[in-house]
């Protein structure tokens, strides 16, 4: 089961050994509190690590909507949003800082069995954080990263290929170690169920590998054979295995978009749902539409029922802001479903979900990487899982009279069955993955999928596109200012070897070539 995130303020203080004088030793002895622990427990550090990973990736309020603005699920009507209009600026490497807790977490384990478990968990966390970082910029510090305690304060950059090789190795290590591990405490995601962590590590490796689909000819990566091997390992079994956070009715613990007595959200009036999300569901009679959206106020005023697909009007986020605001003022738009704001626990938010894995397996089958199960089965599993997830977490009162039942869910995938060329089937798979990703997958997953496959096909409006040049979509963020300020030699070398010295959002990183 997914579990509630403990928003405890956790700052790990790691004590290094120093050569001290006898006077200093006496002073320390006098001033040492015998009741205060001298090192953080492995369980405490595991909680700190998970808190950092999930709270940074799943923000509250307007921060929560940012990945979904870049992914074109919504338009934003408060002001011109950089992400809505494709402006990518500088990132930071702050997500890597929590990796300083991994080594002491392993070192402080109480038993040899627990040490194996925390080693496996640590490899997964490292792989997750380095993957999210390299996906944004390209080459990054990896082998020498987080080595400040040993004196490495200006880390060299590894090639993106070497980073991916390292990530894949760490996920293999996670699988091997977690297979021998024991359950542990300090985990609010899976309650320390080591089998679920192993399944997550393997499922995540499939996600990493599908992003390497342009590198199937690279003998070092051996993408297809790796995929076959990992696909045969234990994977997520259903949405109860989602890498997801659930919420409770207290400030800071509520669903990220909610506006309840426990948590205020001042941004509810600004999002408008896009046609990229709504139109595919309208075209196929997909009842998930009614669980995600509110009908157009103008259409309801004109006499249409909330259960009528034609009452739902999407906007193109690439349109001029003035045009979008005008449509909103006239009621010709759709707000997000009220459950997202009215429920403190609207739904668990997943960073990687079971249905994502099923869609990955479907794509791999279509590409000819694996066989034995047809792509339609995986594809249908992904759709049905997401629909059943809604049945579990969404009260029927929020479905606008269009509640799904088992018969509908079991029959629906055949109505959108995979057909035609390989490319068309991949388009269908990514479309369904996109629908299931609404207010899920906060790590820019939908935008990465568009960057990787071209689906959904987003409008390139040169009059509103904030990228330079406006005739192109950006492909990456730029390196952190702190790296330019304090690690300039290494970041400059990385820019020279990758992009001819230019740090530009239009640079084509190794992964995309």
Encode pLDDT of 486-506 as tens digits.
999 999 999 999 999 999 999
CA dihedral 138, 144, 145, 148 (to 10 degrees): -150
Q: Average pLDDT, stretch 367-379?
A: 98
Does residue 18 form part of some domain? no
What pLDDT is attached to residue 251? Answer: 84
What pLDDT is attached to residue 38? Answer: 53
> Do 442 and 396 share a domain, yes or no?
yes
Does residue 25 form part of some domain? no
Distance of CA 465 to the CA centre of its chain: 25
Instruction: Give the confidence band of 9 by pLDDT, cuts at 50, 70, 90.
Output: very low
Does residue 344 form part of some domain? yes
> Do 461 and 496 share a domain, yes or no?
no
Tens digits of residue pLDDT in 410-448 = 999 999 999 999 999 999 999 999 999 999 999 999 999
> Do 219 and 286 share a domain, yes or no?
no
Q: Cα dihedral sign for 354, 360, 364, 366?
A: positive
Residue 19 pLDDT exceeds 90: no
Does residue 5 form part of some domain? no
3-state secondary structure of 78: coil
Q: Average pLDDT, stretch 7-31?
A: 37
Tens digits of residue pLDDT in 65-102 = 999 999 999 999 999 999 999 999 999 999 999 999 99
Q: Average pLDDT, stretch 266-284?
A: 97
**Rg for the chain (alpha carbons), in Å?**
24
Burial 278-299 (b: 16+ CB within 10 A, else e): bebbbebebbbbbbbbbbbbeb
> Do 198 and 217 share a domain, yes or no?
yes
Question: What CATH code is carried by the domain that includes residue 152?
Answer: 1.25.40.390
Higher-pLDDT residue of 404 and 3 is 404
Q: Report the C-alpha gap between 238 and 33 in whole angstroms.
A: 48
> Do 99 and 149 share a domain, yes or no?
yes
Q: Report the C-alpha gap between 449 and 23 in whole angstroms.
A: 61
Does residue 198 form part of some domain? yes
Does residue 295 form part of some domain? yes
Residue 42 pLDDT exceeds 70: yes
Residue 32 pLDDT exceeds 50: no
Q: Average pLDDT, stretch 376-384?
A: 98
Contacts for 457-460 with beta carbons within 8 Å, 24 or more apart? 458/72, 458/276, 458/318, 459/316, 459/318, 460/318
> Do 151 and 76 share a domain, yes or no?
no
Q: Considering only CA atoms, which of 432, 471, 466 is closest in space to residue 449? A: 432
What pLDDT is attached to residue 152? Answer: 80
Question: What pTM was computed for the model?
Answer: 0.92
Q: In whole numbers, what is the pLDDT of the chain averaged over residues?
A: 93
> Do 133 and 216 share a domain, yes or no?
yes
> Do 459 and 365 share a domain, yes or no?
yes
Instruction: Give the confidence band of 20 by pLDDT, cuts at 50, 70, 90.
Output: very low
Number of domains in the chain: 2
What one-character-per-residue DSSP string does 306-373 give?
Answer: TT-GGG---B-TTS-HHHHHHHHHTT-S-PBPTHHHH-TTS-PEEEE-HHHHHHHHHHHHHTTS--SS
Q: What is the token pair recorded at 371?
A: 């066989």
Q: Considering only CA atoms, which of 68, 64, 59 is closest in space to residue 434? A: 68
Q: State the Cα angle at 260 between 254 and 262, rounded to 5°.
A: 65
What pLDDT is attached to residue 28? Answer: 43
Residue 172 pLDDT exceeds 70: yes
Residue 474 pLDDT exceeds 80: yes
Does residue 229 form part of some domain? yes
> Do 440 and 483 share a domain, yes or no?
no
> Do 194 and 170 share a domain, yes or no?
yes
Does residue 27 form part of some domain? no
Q: Residue 457 sits in which domain range?
A: 62-89+264-476
Tens digits of residue pLDDT in 235-270 = 999 999 999 999 999 888 899 999 999 999 999 999
> Do 471 and 364 share a domain, yes or no?
yes
Q: What is the DSSP letter of 209?
A: H
> Do 97 and 132 share a domain, yes or no?
yes
Question: What CATH code is carried by the domain that includes residue 408?
Answer: 1.20.120.840
What pLDDT is attached to residue 290? Answer: 98
Residue 296 pLDDT exceeds 80: yes
Residue 24 pLDDT exceeds 50: no
What pLDDT is attached to residue 23? Answer: 39
Alpha helices in 61-143 (DSSP H): 61-70, 102-107, 112-137
> What are 90's strand-pairing partners?
478
Q: Average pLDDT, stretch 122-126?
A: 98
* Residue 427 backbone zone (phi > 0: left; psi -120 to 50: alpha; other: beta): alpha
10 Å CB burial of residue 358 (0-12, 13-18, 19+) is: buried
What pLDDT is attached to residue 29? Answer: 46
Instruction: Give the confidence band of 148 by pLDDT, cuts at 50, 70, 90.
Output: confident
């Amino acid at each position: 089961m997914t579990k509630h995130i403990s928003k405890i303020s956790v700052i790990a203080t790691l004590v290094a050994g120093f050569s001290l004088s006898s006077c200093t030793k006496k002073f320390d002895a006098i001033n040492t509190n015998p009741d205060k622990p001298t090192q953080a427990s492995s369980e405490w550090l595991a909680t700190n690590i998970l808190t950092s990973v999930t709270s940074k990736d799943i923000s509250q309020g307007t921060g929560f909507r940012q990945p979904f603005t870049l992914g074109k699920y919504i338009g934003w009507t408060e002001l011109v949003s950089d992400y809505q209009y494709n402006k990518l600026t500088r990132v930071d490497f702050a997500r890597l800082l929590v990796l300083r807790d991994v080594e002491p977490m392993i070192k402080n384990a109480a038993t040899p069995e627990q040490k194996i478990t925390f080693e496996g968990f640590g490899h997964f966390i490292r792989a997750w954080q380095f993957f999210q970082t390299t996906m944004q910029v390209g080459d990054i510090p990896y082998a020498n990263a987080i080595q400040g305690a040993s004196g490495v304060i200006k880390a060299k950059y590894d090639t993106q290929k070497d980073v991916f090789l390292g990530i894949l190795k760490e996920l293999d290590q996670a699988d091997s170690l977690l297979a021998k591990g024991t359950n542990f405490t300090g985990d609010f995601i899976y309650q320390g169920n080591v089998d679920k962590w192993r399944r997550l590590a393997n499922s995540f490796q499939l996600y990493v590998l599908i992003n390497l689909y342009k590198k199937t000819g690279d003998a070092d990566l051996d993408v297809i054979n790796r995929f076959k091997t990992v696909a045969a390992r234990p994977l997520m079994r259903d949405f109860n295995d989602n890498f997801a956070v659930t919420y409770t009715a207290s400030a800071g613990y509520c669903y990220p978009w909610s506006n309840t007595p426990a948590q205020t959200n001042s941004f509810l009036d600004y999002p408008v749902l896009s046609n990229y999300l709504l139109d595919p569901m309208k075209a196929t009679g997909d009842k998930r539409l009614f669980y995600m959206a509110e009908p157009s106020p103008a259409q309801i005023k004109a006499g249409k029922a909330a259960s009528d697909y034609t009452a739902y009007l999407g906007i193109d986020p690439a349109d001029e802001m003035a045009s979008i605001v005008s449509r909103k003022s006239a009621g010709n738009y759709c707000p997000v479903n009220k459950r997202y704001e009215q429920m403190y626990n609207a739904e668990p938010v997943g960073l990687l979900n079971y249905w994502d894995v099923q869609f990955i397996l479907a794509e791999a089958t279509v590409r000819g990487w694996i066989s034995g199960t047809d792509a339609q089965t995986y594809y249908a599993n992904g759709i049905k899982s997401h629909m059943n997830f809604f049945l579990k977490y969404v009260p029927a009162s929020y479905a606008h009279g269009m509640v799904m039942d088992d018969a509908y869910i079991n029959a629906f995938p055949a109505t959108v069955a995979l057909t035609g060329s390989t490319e068309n089937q991949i388009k269908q798979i990514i479309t369904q993955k996109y629908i299931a990703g609404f207010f899920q997958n906060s790590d820019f997953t939908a935008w990465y999928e568009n960057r990787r496959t071209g689906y959904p096909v987003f409008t390139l409006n040169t009059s509103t596109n904030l990228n330079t040049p406006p005739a192109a979509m950006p492909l990456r963020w730029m390196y952190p200012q702190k790296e330019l300020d304090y690690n300039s030699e290494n970041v400059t070398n990385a820019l020279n070897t990758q992009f001819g010295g230019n740090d530009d959002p239009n640079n084509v990183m190794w992964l995309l070539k």
